[in-house]
Amino acid sequence: MKGARKILFIAVFGVMIFGAAEVKAQCAMCTTAVESNNKSGATTTKGLNHGILYLLAAPYLIAGLGGYIWYRNYRRKNIELDVPHDKLNLN
């Protein structure tokens, strides 16, 4: 069962990483400033886009990590089962 979870995690993670589309998330003022710098030959456009994407991803990573820690710590309940170890006679 653990092997299936690992494979599922790797598959979902791979789809998230390799299936990501390039986006341009900028406000109007940033867009005009970057476009004017881009026309003059500066390469700040890519750096600004990457910085915005990192800032966008940080809350999701923190929430995911918190959810994983919560799931790992509280998925089991401390219940003791009193099961007799005698063999059953089915005749």
Q: Where are the domains of the chain?
A: 22-74
End-to-end CA distance of the chain: 35
The residue-averaged pLDDT of 5-27 equals 81
pLDDT band for position 17 (50/70/90)?
confident
> Residue 18 pLDDT more than 80?
yes
pLDDT at 78 over 70: no
Using left for φ > 0, alpha for ψ between -120 and 50, and beta otherwise, residue 22 falls in beta
The residues, any chain, with a CB within 8 Å of residue 43's CB and separated by 6 or more, are: none
pLDDT at site 53: 85
19-69: pLDDT as tens digits: 777 766 567 777 777 778 777 777 777 777 788 888 889 999 999 999 999
